[in-house]
């Protein structure tokens, strides 16, 4: 048996779901994140929400972790997410994310190099006011 590798945080601010990833993720850490993220998103009920994910300190993931990300995004596609911003500067991680998480292709998603611009874009995607 092996330990969870990778750290994450999840928070909510109004109707924005925030998450940050640090380190290299294995499937134990990714499953933990997915379960916690689902609980938070399900607490919205049918309300619309925005999502900001900071991947600036993500060092990578095992194939199982990327598979979990794709399954999570398939589930997320059935929720009332208006838009998702990914904050990422590593072109390699961005290409891996695009290739390994095809379920996110139908989402209103954009990539940014900082949270400020990501948040500005997210808020511009709707007249969302924390419904």
pLDDT in tens, 18-71: 999 999 999 999 999 999 999 999 998 999 999 999 999 999 999 999 999 999
Alpha-carbon torsion (95, 96, 100, 101), positive or negative = negative
- CB burial of 54-77 (b: ≥16 within 10 Å; e: otherwise) equals bbbebeebbeebbebbeebbeebe
Number of Cβ atoms within 10 Å of the Cβ of 103? 15
Which helix or strand (DSSP H or E) is residue 60 part of?
strand 49-61
Contact 52, 118 (CB under 8 A): yes
* Whole-angstrom Cα Rg for the chain: 14
pLDDT, average across residues 99-121: 97
pTM over 0.75: yes
Distances (CA, A) of 42 to 34, 39, 47, 55, 105: 12, 5, 9, 23, 22
């Amino acid at each position: 048996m092996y330990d969870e590798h990778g750290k994450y945080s999840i928070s909510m601010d109004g109707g924005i779901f925030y998450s940050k990833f640090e380190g290299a993720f294995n499937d134990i850490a990714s499953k933990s994140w997915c379960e916690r993220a689902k609980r938070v998103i399900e607490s919205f009920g049918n309300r619309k929400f925005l999502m900001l994910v900071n991947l600036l300190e993500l060092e990578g993931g095992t194939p199982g972790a990327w598979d979990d990300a794709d399954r999570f995004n398939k589930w997320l596609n059935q929720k009332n997410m208006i838009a998702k911003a990914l904050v990422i500067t590593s072109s390699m991680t961005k290409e891996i994310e695009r290739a390994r998480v095809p379920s996110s292709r139908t989402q209103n998603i954009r990539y940014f190099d900082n949270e400020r611009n990501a948040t500005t874009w997210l808020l511009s995607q709707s007249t969302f006011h924390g419904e």
